[in-house]
Amino acid sequence: MATHNPDHSTTNNGAAVQLRQLKPSFSSRVKEFFIRHLQVFFYSLGLLSRSPFATLMTASALGIALALPAGLYVILDHARQLSGDMDSINQISLFMKKEASNEAIQATKEKLDRLPEIAQVKYINRTTALQEFQKNSGFGDALKALKENPLPDLLIVYPSLTHSAPEQIKALLVILKKLNSVERVQLDIQWLQRLHAIINIGQRGVLIIGSLLALAVLLIVGNTIRLAIENRRSEIIVTKLIGGTDSFIRRPFLYTGFWYGLLSGLIAVLLVNISLIIMNDPLAHLSSLYNNNLFSLGLMGVDISSTLLLSGCFLGLLGARIAVGKHLKDIEPK
């Protein structure tokens, strides 16, 4: 290369150096902005896939942290729906006197059937009740040792929908208590209130566990991104030296956090669904023992799944943003 060649610039027209800095046009910069975003989006995924085992381990830890509160929520949600369905079923049990004859019970039933407040009356014969109890409770042999049937005859009264307000039920209870052959009247609603209370406690518990595990996700992502930043320290310094803005340097790390979040969300959805499938059979058996076919967990709904994925992405991004904001400032050219 000639040292003092005055014609030097003409031999290098492609790289002729001008005094004014070269700037791309505005439209080019806007277009490139989106193209670069897209490139970094997939570039960061490519970086993760270069070390699939490490990526999968981190994402699994995150996935488990997300799956735990999500699974509990799904179960609670089902319990809440179930109890919600039962809210309208006010049923009143009439335990009949032992000495009451079959005829007297039939007469009472017919009388009640005629009342407008009552939709339906179901008669459960004490002998039938005992047989069912022997069959289902597992105490069959022990019960056979009893000399006489300890169970009373039972009338189950279903108030009509137009008369199911609390005051109307109270008034109905007064009428029912006055009936001759009735020993005791029981409104089967207390257990429902208790169930509601338990579900409320459960919901608080899920909220607490969920918040703690969301924090854990933030910390894990933050730490992972911190390590990634440390690994690429020289690249960050060089980029800063040649005029890379903070947001340019931040971008790949934010997308890495996003990918971790999305991946962990997917793993969590998978884990919860596997758990539900494992639990469905025994639950179906349990509910059949209660003569109740309502209770089946099924799979996760689309709404809960997408919420889980979105919160995974959000937590991943947030954790990465916090880590990047904290650690990028520490890396400056020296």
Partner 1 sequence: MIVFDQVSKRYPGGNEALLNVNFHLHPGEMAFLTGHSGAGKSTLLKLIALIERASSGRVIIGGKNLNKVGRHTLPYLRRNMGIIFQDYQLLYDRTVFDNVALPLIISGFSSREVKKRVHAALDKVGLLRFEKKYPITLSGGEQQRISIARAVVNKPALLLADEPTGNLDPELSHEIMDLFIAFHQVGVTVLIATHDIPLIKQLDKRIIQLSHGEIAHGQADQKVHTPDNNQPPFIVST
Please give the residue ranges that form the binding site for partner 1 (CB under 8 A): 1-6, 8-9, 12, 14-24, 28-29, 31-33, 35-36, 234-235, 237-246, 248, 332-334
Q: Which residue, 20 or 178, is less far from partner 1 as judged by CB?
A: 20
Q: Minimum CB separation from partner 1 for residue 259, in Å?
A: 20
Place of tokens 């809960």: 304
Torsion region of 118: left, alpha or beta (phi above 0 gives left; psi -120 to 50 gives alpha): beta
Instruction: Please give the helix or strand (H or E) that residue 96 lies within, else none.
Output: strand 92-96
Q: Minimum CB separation from partner 1 for residue 249, in Å?
A: 9
Q: Which residue, 31 or 204, is less far from partner 1 as judged by CB?
A: 31
C-alpha distance across the termini of the chain, in Å: 33
Q: Give 235-247 as a DSSP string.
A: HHHHHHHTT--HH
SS (H, E, C) 58-70: HHHHHHHHHHHHH
Q: Which residue, 166 or 243, is less far from partner 1 as judged by CB?
A: 243
Q: Which residue, 38 or 197, is less far from partner 1 as judged by CB?
A: 38
Q: Minimum CB separation from partner 1 for residue 6, in Å?
A: 7
The Cα–Cα gap between 218 and 322 comes to: 9
Q: Cα–chain-centroid distance for residue 48? A: 28
Q: Minimum CB separation from partner 1 for residue 23, in Å?
A: 7
Q: Which residue, 241 or 274, is less far from partner 1 as judged by CB?
A: 241
Structure tokens at 79: 């319990």
Q: Minimum CB separation from partner 1 for residue 54, in Å?
A: 17
